[in-house]
A and B are shown apart, each in its own frame.
Chain A
Amino acid sequence: MSTEGGGARLGSARSQHGRGLLELTDGKAVIVVEGLSRRFGDVTAVNGLSLKIQEGEVFGLLGHNGAGKTTTIRLLTGVLSPHGGEARVLGLDPTRDGPALRGRTGVLTETPALDERLTARENLSYYADLYGVPRHEVPARVEGLLEEFELADRADEPVGRYSKGMRQRLALARALLPGPELLFLDEPTTGLDPVAAREVRELIVRLSGEEGRTVVLCTHNLVEAQRLCHRVGVLEHGRLVALGTPAELVRGLDRGLRVEVELSPGDEGAVGALRGLPGVLEVVEERPGLLGVKVASPRVVPEIAAAVVGAGGRLYRLQPQEPTLEDFYLALHGGKGGR
């Protein structure tokens, strides 16, 4: 897995690579992008994006609405042409080799984009023809996907009668229909119930881990990104402002360790003892009986228990809170860094 970017926030001089990224393709890089830019009028949707994604990697593309995630997908599939920079996807130039490239990729769009007047089977068969799935394989492949996504029972109903979750499952099935080497998934678990969402997450893990497919995951669900992605990149106004593994990014947070301490409400003695404890940076009473304690190091955690008990307090719960990708993301965007 590439560590390009060093797992840190990226400054404006992000593209100082020495050697160009395009020269670094080592046969395992599925996506190599250097200085990719795209404008819409006065708005720069993607601004000097440089990135390398390896085969079998699940890469999370994070960012607010309008940060440039969807435009990036469109550029990498050759649906849009860049105004600057270069890209190689599966060894192809998206602008020049768009049709060939799209034949090897699957895209789950932000909205399911299904024809509601057609049935699920007709929708899939239609796309099988467009993707050039061998004719003799179409019925079995369509049936297999309908079974896999639990749509077989209602495969011959118009999609207009489907629930939001069923449509999302069908759109996912369509993205997998051509057996793509590279998958772009835009909010894949949106609209799914918890069980279906878990199945989709398991599917992504399987596609990447067992089948070696590369997945680019655009999501606002940071818990999901942290759980699934080998690496994430954060886009802000079209610029890549952070890149690395979730662990690397979180490690870079300058916030100490946060510990949740639950004790008897109104136990001022214990609160006072904690405030005076060496290594405790901050004590915040979040609600009666629940304290948020920021400490300098994990070694202080046992001292917290001892201080509360020593002050005659009743300790119900002591829980160190590992910083999450969400903390990092919020900190990056100037929001509240801790929970």
Chain B
Amino acid sequence: MCNPGRCLAANTGFFNLDSGKADIFRDALVIDPLAGAIAGAQNHYGHGPEVGVVADVMSEQTLQGLIGKTALGDRAAFASLYDETSAKLFGVCLRILKDRAQAEDAMQEVYVRIWRRAGSFRAGQASAMAWLVTIARNQSIDMIRSKQPASIEFDDAPEIADEAPDPEAQAALSAEGRRIDACLKELDADRAAAVVGAYVEGSSYQELADRNGVPLNTMRTWLRRSLIKLRECLNR
């Protein structure tokens, strides 16, 4: 049994995007959306039978220790942190940027940020790996967005309407224990796939709309509605 995140991602067909060759390197404004903002993240690594892929990732405690030492300017700890996490984060950058040269550029910026922001990591608020992956995702997404239109004319904030869950879609998704998986099951299968695909692939609204064959504003309404339903479920 595969976990729903992976199955959904595999079914979305989002794998062959050509993100182009432009090498614009957006001068990243250093706002740290994560500083103190990640709350209550659970450590999803090294626990449970479904996470064999990340079995080689160091323990949460060890990673936290390396981040803490990095915050104190310990370069050897930073080097160890790189050694232990660079494969995972390179995987993130590659998946989103879909270009090795750009992914390497992203990695450089990601670890510079990690070095500079290590002090903002709060053990207990976020898992170390979740914090690191978020930095890699943000960097990669910012890089691809910088090559796309900087703004999109959306209609005014789409109305959020309730919609009954689709029992078939719920049954189609496998049963797993985690909250996000359970809540994704309450969405229509295609909507859940859009959420997972957007997260994992770093898709833009325009790309999601194109893939789903719907207008941009319809796509946004779908996704925002899905997010509201997810949030309601997650808060239960």
The finding on whether chains A and B are genuine partners in a shared complex, rather than unrelated, reads no
Instruction: List residues of chain A with CB under 8 Å of any chain B CB.
Output: none
